[in-house]
Amino acid sequence: MTDSRPALTMLSEEEEMFRDAVNRFAEDEVRPRVMEMEKATKISPDLLPKYFELGLMGIEVPEEYGGAGGSLFMVTLAVEAISKVDASAAIVCDVQNTLVNYPINRYGTEEQKSKYLPMLTSDTVGAYALSESGSGSDAFGLSARADKKGDHWILNGQKLWITNGAEAGLFVVFANANPSAGYKGITAFIIERDFPGFKVGKKEDKLGIRASSTVELLLDNCEVPEENVLGPVGQGYKVAIETLNEGRIGIGAQMIGVAQGALTATLAYLNERKQFGKSLSEFQGIQFQVAQAATEVEAARLMVYNASRLKDAGHDIAGEGAMAKLLSSQVCERVTSLCVELFGGYGYTKDYPVEKFYRDAKIGAIYEGTSNMQLQTIAKAILKSG
């Protein structure tokens, strides 16, 4: 992590066209369904096929496997654009690209890529299963076990807080194949939903991103073919770490999108709402608060964009990715909270969108590494480079 690599914020013509297409998708297809999905606490089934039709579920996947052959920066643009409308709808796209497609494309055998990537780019939602009840921030303290039996592995355990789990047909699951080796026994597996012994369990009732499914997974003598080991046996911790480095960029994009969505809605309200004979936007005290919020959102955006550009250029972004996620989640909480206040009493009701943006913001400081864990990662990166 050095200060010699400049931020690359200019968009190419292709990137601008892609961003604009996703913006239209978010406005035309996602926005009309937001409240319905929020109340139903699930993604509208007729929306999911549209993600695949637009190519949003395989942005970085090579064209030979049915993907768009794009970049992490394009994933960032897509997640940000959808998050301006609905964070739940955005995380569907984010998890698919950064936590499922990425590790299979990066670590999968040719047989695995040829079989699963075309599924993931055409009609199959994926999920990533690392967390357990006793291993959240201690991500490698896994209780799930994997035992070799002939030409199969037998997995037992429970996974918690698995995003996209209700809709997913394919799962990247981590279990320990050699507990005596500690984290060096952790191994990644590709599990199909109909594998014997695999079951999707309880769905969580959450504060925010309510339409996004968050479930438990039950592994009860789950039979996984030997050819479905993802990466070398005992190297699952490397798969998990590198995948989460990419995933944190997606969460950063989600947070800047949520913050921008709330701020945009608030600006419109401030121009319309009148008090003491003039619109709220004419009061200097409010102008200063909005200016501060807009500045912070832009700063977070630049950090997220820079980290994604660096990753696309082949750099290690452990530090930059952690910084981007940390700052964007902090900014998102501050900005959405301010937006609720600027709406006054209306901001506390469900008649206006900012209360939802506020609830959706909180998850950014929690999943794919809490803010404290990001600080730890940043500190290590700084000390290493210094």
Catalytic residues, by residue number, are 368
Phi, psi angle pair for 379, to nearest 5°: -60, -45
Distance CA 313, CA 369 (A): 24
Decide: 29 and 81 in contact? Cβ < 8 Å.
no
Q: Which of 102, 298, 99, 332 is nearest to 209 (CA)?
A: 332
Q: Which of 290, 261, 229, 238 is nearest to 359 (CA)?
A: 261
- Tell me whether strands 198-203 and 145-149 are parallel, antiparallel or unpaired: unpaired
Q: State how far Cα 380 lies from the chain centre.
A: 23
Distance CA 192, CA 169 (A): 6
Decide: 169 and 179 in contact? Cβ < 8 Å.
no
177 three-state secondary structure: coil
Q: Which of 128, 140, 241, 152 is nearest to 184 (CA)?
A: 140
Q: Which of 108, 184, 180, 186 is nearest to 146 (CA)?
A: 186
DSSP H helices in 284-353: 284-312, 318-342
Distance CA 218, CA 328 (A): 33
Residue 57 tokens read as 């579920």
Distance CA 201, CA 197 (A): 12
